[in-house]
Structure 1
């Protein structure tokens, strides 16, 4: 080890003290609101975070002049972090942001990001708002019990749940005549376990037969046994909630082994949401059905940037040359709701005041209404998930278009097409 002389040691102490003082001063800045923002920009879930840089750029530009709360103007600083699709890293980044003195945490996309960030905030007493994962996997997956009071005092989540998936599926699937046999591919993770426990029974109540080969582990590379079961049972609908690489492996093998020829509806969630995932499947991607938690045809605008849904999507395409994705509106809706909570707080620098504002937040975002006064359980606000499908584009620079085929959870959103059979 290198020995320090007295002068070096004294200098080191001084430098350390200055750094700590600077951090403490920043954390105690009464004129600046600091917001943490965690999302998966890289790793297997990178599709969810791909557009976040653009969304944050739009939000920061709109917030340049700060926000006014109770007659006082506050500067707004957003500290964004890439979780790299790793739950352990997400937890550590959340702790680092908390130590940096954030006033509000925002977390977006999948249990692998949201749950560890939420848990860190709950433990530290920092208000946290999240979206884009089934609320059951967030609420019950973190220890809440049905019928019991919420164990969460600092963390809040808005968006779709299993009930919205069931409502959409049971509304859109009858557009195609099938034998109502569903082959389900639910992984052994927070999403998969939540939908197996809650979604499958609702589909059965709707008159469908579930063919379940059992939970598979994330990262599985051989799906021959599941494919063989689905072929032998004559399933005509596939319903799956995998990470993108797992679905790509499964569906390519399904095509190679002849399963895809008998499937009339391929209904994906957590994958099949973004153009790159569908393009990677080549010809196998066309007519895959998906579910949209935001779409460029949403009739809502951002309360932060003022952009309409169409303007947000068009702006992304004009700047990047790449096709819009539904994550654009989802991430911006999170910022819309977070800023609304800060504005509604009696003191945006008081964590208790921000938490109390979140608990009764009722605001329209670019993704629709976020209302924490209406349930479905404490700390959770409803959000829609609409039926959609990838079809050949009628015109334009992109091969496929993402069209809405069902709007049961939000009739305000227009439907553009009817569901087409995958093997038609």
Structure 2
């Protein structure tokens, strides 16, 4: 399964985008470039659902429906152009996107500027709101997003830290960019959740990406007696830090990391900027010489999530099986969220006062309450306008003879997802 190809122009003829009768859902996907592997889940879902999403009935009237795909090429500038093309050439009534800390906000901002509703996911909501320039309260809103918060990540990570005991001293490996600033946010970042549970954070300050060395972080963590490290580093930077830490005799009992870790180690390694540092053998529990060990992460979707598609009632397990059958690969967490993007987008078209009016579609998004294969989404009660929350569990990549599996090791906030592994800690 090669995934959808970029569509360079509109379909012509009866029901085409220029006659106001056809409904088009546009998708901006990183099909190529450094984020290409991260765009694969949405590319698969678009191809998987395209044969089913050919018609939409609204108030007794049937509209032709199609999906149009544009490649962001993993670049913010190209992503903005992709939005413009989807609207001008394909007549998109709504645009969906996911993946990329720079590309995703570029898509949302372009949609807002043009006046087309945007739906996105896989980005902590506080970071997302910040990228929208603080004017999200104006009506109608154009940009909508479902995910979790930085504070939610902090709580799930703290659940796992406490496997090592209460009141831990935790070293913070955070960059000096937007991501690091958000993690340090006095209200939404990690400190409130960590301090409320008795943990002490040791933050030596940010580092520029890609990291050139972490000697000061290692020294400060050593001096503070940290036995846990939390991070949002790239795979390459985390590998470099852990190698330098091990050389200096610092061996954390547990590392928690949110960035890239939702994807399997091989996928995440491919999406990280090239470095002159050999890749780690794995990012799960250790082999005797593996430096990138005992790394835990967040879990937002698995085939065992007890939810069904609002489109056809298919289960999370069936979606994972379809992906495996088509690609020969194991399931990926973003699959569920990618599928939910299309569920919510078509729901908004189907419930808008006028599905051909982009403003009406945007207003329908703001009213949306929908059970999807990724979970129950409610855009009317989120922490900020246009935001719907998803709950998180804690997981750990654990090696098997066939690669890695993401074991659910903490489900305090998502008890309906059963545990299927024990959290590995270094003694």
1:297–1:309 Cα contact (<8 Å) kept: yes
Say how many residue pairs are matched: 397
* Structure 1 residues 105 and 372: alpha-carbon distance in aligned structure 2, compared to 1, 3 A threshold: same
- Provide Cα deviations, 1:11-45, integer angstroms capped at 9, x if missing partner: xxxxxxxx99979x943233321112123334443
1:412 aligns with 2:411: no
Distance change in 2, residues 1:284/1:129 (3 Å): closer
SS in 1 for 2:261: coil
Asked if residue 37 in structure 1 is aligned to residue 27 in structure 2, the reply is yes
Q: Which residue of 2 aligns with 1:138?
A: 128
* Residues 1:164 and 1:21: Cα distance change in structure 2 (over 3 Å): closer
The aligned residue for residue 362 of structure 2 is 355
1:223 aligns with 2:220: no
Q: 1: CA distance between counterparts of 2:84 and 2:63?
A: 24
Moved more, 283-292 or 336-345: 283-292
| Structure 1 residue corresponding to 2:226, chosen from 227, 230, 235 | 235
2:142 aligns to what? 154
Question: Any conservation in 2 of the 1:175–1:418 contact (CA below 8 Å)?
Answer: no
Conserved 8 A contact 1:44-1:245:
no
What TM-score does the superposition give when structure 1 sets the normalisation length? 0.85
TM-score with structure 2 length normalisation?
A: 0.85
* Residue correspondence of structure 1 range 357-376 to structure 2 within 5 A: 357-376=364-383
Deviation at 1:372, TM superposition (A): 0.8
Structure 1, unpaired ranges of 5+: 1-18
C-alpha distance after superposition, 1:313-363 (max 9, x if no partner):
122223322221101111111111111111111221111110110011000
Deviation, 1:387, is 0.7
- Partner in structure 2 of residue 53 of structure 1: 43
8 A contact 1:129–1:338 mirrored in 2? yes
CA distance in 2, matches of 1:377, 1:383: 14
Residues 150 and 352 from structure 1, CA distance in 2 versus in 1: closer, same or farther, beyond 3 angstroms? closer
Q: If you compute each CA radius of gyration, which structure gives the higher value, 1 or 2?
A: 1
Aligned to 1:96: 85
How far does residue 253 in structure 1 lie from its aligned partner after superposition?
3.7
CA contact (8 A) 1:135 1:160 kept: yes
Q: How far is the alpha carbon of 1:107 from its aligned partner? A: 1.5
Asked whether the equivalents of residues 106 and 129 of structure 1 are also in contact (C-alpha less than 8 Å), the reply is: yes
Contact 1:63 / 1:304 at 8 angstroms: preserved in 2? no
Structure 1 segments, 4+ long, off by >6 Å, are 19-23
